[in-house]
Amino acid sequence: MTSCPFCNLQFSSPRWYKKHLLRHHSLGLTKLPTVAGGSTYQDAVSLLGKSGTPQFACSDCGKRLRTQATLMQHRLTHVKPFKCCICSRRFSQRVNLLDHERVHTGEQPFFCDLCGRKFSQQANLHTHRKIHLVAKDFHCSMCHKGFVQKINLMSHLEKVHLARLPFFCPRCRCGSTSGFCLSCGSNGQSSRAL
């Protein structure tokens, strides 16, 4: 049984495995660029799954990898055979091109089950979900919205609240509609026009 190093599909026949590589990963029976020791595609098929110390070096960047299969996958990062027909950006794997194409189509198949926000890429959803899981120690004194970082709170204050409030306190940066600061009690607020 042979396993594809790119998508982990299993093949009982070397013939079907080679056809799969040709169709789905742009790797035909033609030789790949020569790698460490003069190995070619045919050698790579027989060396799949070989492990140990990093012994296969990339001829482009010198990075050393443990298996011929991982070297083949790494080599694609230099070749990038998959091209976006809209912006001409190139990708090493077909799945990355398909993810990228959603930027142009506006398709957002991934959504947060906690707030409903949609994303075009699963990685962006994964990053977003951290917002819900991390403690929000910085809270807005005006709307009580929580933030993970103080810089995000300050940005929120300036964009959402201070833009609508004509006065701000030079001591604590709190905004108000009158000249009196509700946060620190200061009466010396400056006009935002300054």
For residue 146, the surrounding DSSP H or E stretch is: strand 146-147
Tell me the per-residue pLDDT of 97-135, one tens digit each, with 9 for 90 and over.
999 999 999 999 999 998 999 999 888 898 888 888 878
Residue 12's domain comprises 2-79
Q: Which residue is listed with tokens 């001591």?
A: 171
Tell me the per-residue pLDDT of 66-90, one tens digit each, with 9 for 90 and over.
888 888 888 878 888 889 999 999 9
Q: Is 106 contained in some domain?
A: no
Q: Is 85 contained in some domain?
A: no
Q: Cβ(19)–Cβ(64) under 8 Å?
A: no
If asked whether residues 74 and 142 sit together in one domain, one would say: no
Average pLDDT over residues 55-67: 87
Q: Name the residue type at position 56.
A: F
Q: Is 118 contained in some domain?
A: no
Tell me the per-residue pLDDT of 11-21, one tens digit each, with 9 for 90 and over.
787 777 777 77
Strand, helix or coil for residue 38: helix
Q: Is 115 contained in some domain?
A: no
| pLDDT on residue 173 | 65
Our count of domains for the chain comes to 2
